[in-house]
């Protein structure tokens, strides 16, 4: 049975921090009697449906019970959606069931579930457990062309996409810009989603090689470990793999969908958020600790990544 005394503040803190950094709305949901709550980050929701196809909603849920109440009933109570929906599982284990697959599919981190308009289905964590997921809803005729064998296939609704960090980043790259107030989905975002779907289809037809996964994890670790007070030396990082700087940069971007410098910058801003949230250290000192030449440049880079100034982020974190 779940531990009802579990510290949900600690469990949900990372999701709450993401909402502070990127926008959207964070909620604590109580849905099952005598059970700890879940964290629900509504990244965006739009009623502005575009001709052809549009993104309508995205959320990231931590410590989720999903459709557990319906799974516990006999017969199980499936639901039917009027739109497409994808859920990508970050943490935990569970099961997906639909009318075509009464025995269902086991799910774990790296599982992607495609749900189709008019197809009854249900999914939930294993009994007594919870999971973390990110999902996106979309609708329109443009997406119908991506339904079929080796594409989004109702006969294969559960796929594998690994590594998890990489594909979670791909979801975030698509939906996080929409978390900003006054930024409804546009036709460009529809194109970005179809591009993501095409890369997903390619991935489950030709899975990543283990050495690519290991290479990226090692490269990211090197970037995390690079001294904060030293400028990034891509040539030195490339020598760790016995390749040229150009090859290193191209391979990193291909596997991570961003440059090594951009990855490092986002990591530094995450460290800055931790310092802003957990201390009253002056901005100038934080800038120096993270290797920025001056406070102004740090503030400019922080706002570019987080969408708000360091001061605004600190005030929001302190009040929330």
| Full-model pTM | 0.68
Q: What is the mean pLDDT of residues 286-315?
A: 86
Give the pLDDT band (50/70/90) at residue 247. very high
Neighbours of 279 (CB within 10 A): 11
Q: What would be the CATH architecture of the domain defined by 8-205?
A: Sandwich (2.60)
What would the mean pLDDT of 52-69 be, rounded to a whole number? Answer: 94
pLDDT of amino acid 69:
92
State the greatest distance between any 2 C-alpha atoms of the chain, in Å, as a whole number.
Answer: 63
Task: Write out the CATH class of domain 209-320.
Answer: mainly alpha
DSSP tally for the chain: helices H, then strands E: 11, 10
Q: Which pLDDT belongs to residue 26?
A: 95
Report, as an integer, the average pLDDT of 98-109: 93
C-beta of residue 121 within 8 angstroms of C-beta of residue 30: no
> 24 — phi, psi (to 5°)?
80, -165
Among candidate residues 120, 53, 51, 117, the one with its CA nearest the CA of residue 84: 117
Residues 303, 23 contacting (CB under 8 angstroms) = no
User: What does the block give as tokens for 234?
Assistant: 């891509």
What are the residue boundaries of the structural domains of the chain, listed by start?
A: 8-205, 209-320
Q: Whose CA is closest to 67, among 108, 123, 113?
A: 123
Closest CA relative to residue 130, chosen from 298, 8, 22: 8
pLDDT value of residue 217: 86
**Do 268 and 310 form a contact (C-beta atoms < 8 A)?**
no
**pLDDT for 67:** 95
- Does position 152 have pLDDT exceeding 80, yes or no? yes
């Amino acid at each position: 049975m779940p531990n009802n005394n579990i510290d949900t503040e600690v469990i949900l803190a990372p999701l709450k921090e993401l909402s502070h950094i990127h926008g959207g709305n964070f909620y604590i949901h109580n849905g099952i009697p005598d059970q700890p709550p879940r964290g629900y980050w509504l990244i965006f929701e739009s009623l502005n449906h575009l001709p052809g196809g549009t993104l309508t909603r995205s959320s990231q849920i931590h410590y989720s019970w999903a459709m557990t109440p319906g799974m516990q009933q006999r017969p199980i109570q499936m639901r039917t959606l009027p739109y497409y929906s994808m859920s990508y599982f970050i943490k935990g284990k569970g099961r997906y069931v639909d009318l075509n697959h009464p025995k269902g599919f086991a799910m774990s981190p790296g599982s992607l579930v495609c749900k189709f308009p008019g197809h009854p289905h249900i999914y939930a964590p294993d009994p007594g457990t919870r999971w973390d997921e990110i999902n996106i809803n979309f609708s329109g005729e443009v997406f119908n062309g991506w339904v079929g064998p080796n594409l989004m296939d109702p006969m294969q609704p559960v796929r594998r996409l690994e590594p998890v960090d990489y594909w979670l980043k791909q979801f975030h790259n698509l939906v996080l810009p929409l978390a900003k107030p006054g930024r409804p989905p546009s036709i460009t975002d529809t194109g970005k989603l179809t591009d993501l779907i095409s890369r997903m289809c390619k991935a489950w037809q030709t899975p990543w090689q283990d050495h690519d996964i290991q290479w990226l994890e090692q490269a990211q670790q090197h970037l995390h470990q690079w001294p904060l007070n030293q400028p990034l030396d891509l040539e030195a990082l490339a020598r760790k793999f016995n390749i040229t700087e150009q090859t290193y940069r191209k391979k990193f971007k291909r596997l991570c969908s961003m440059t090594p410098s951009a990855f490092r910058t986002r990591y530094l801003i995450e460290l800055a958020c931790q310092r802003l949230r957990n201390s009253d250290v002056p901005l100038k000192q934080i800038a120096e600790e993270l290797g920025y030449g001056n406070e102004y440049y740090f503030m400019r880079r922080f706002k570019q990544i987080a969408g708000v100034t360091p001061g605004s982020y600190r005030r929001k974190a302190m009040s929330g």
